[in-house]
Amino acid sequence: MSYQEIITIEPDKRGGKPCIRRMRITVYDVLGWLATGMSHAEILEDFPELTEADIRACLEFAADRDHRLVASVGAA
């Protein structure tokens, strides 16, 4: 499953930030928890509505966004 099937963007939800499966949990929430040292297991325990695939989709989304940003800057 690709992140495009999991990450949703709705202009009227969370200010149009990318969210997980139409929930109010954003990609940036998950990335922030990972950055503070939370393990996947801890995130899933605190937020049982999330899945391991959701966490991987957030990482894939961030990697793809970073790749596109670098490619865009490199083309300028």
Q: Has residue 74 got a pLDDT over 80?
A: no
User: pLDDT value at position 61?
Assistant: 94
Q: Looking at the whole model, is its pTM more than 0.85?
A: no
User: pLDDT value at position 64?
Assistant: 86
Give tens-digit pLDDT for 27-48.
Answer: 999 999 999 999 999 999 999 9
Distances (CA, A) of 31 to 18, 49, 54, 76: 12, 16, 11, 28
CA 55, CA 25: separation in Å to the nearest integer?
Answer: 11
Residue 76 lies in a domain: no
Residue 49 lies in a domain: yes
Round to the nearest angstrom and report the end-to-end CA distance of the chain.
32
Residue 65 lies in a domain: yes
Range of the domain at 51: 3-70
CA 22, CA 13: separation in Å to the nearest integer?
Answer: 9
CA 43, CA 30: separation in Å to the nearest integer?
Answer: 8
pLDDT bin (cut points 50, 70, 90) of residue 2 is confident
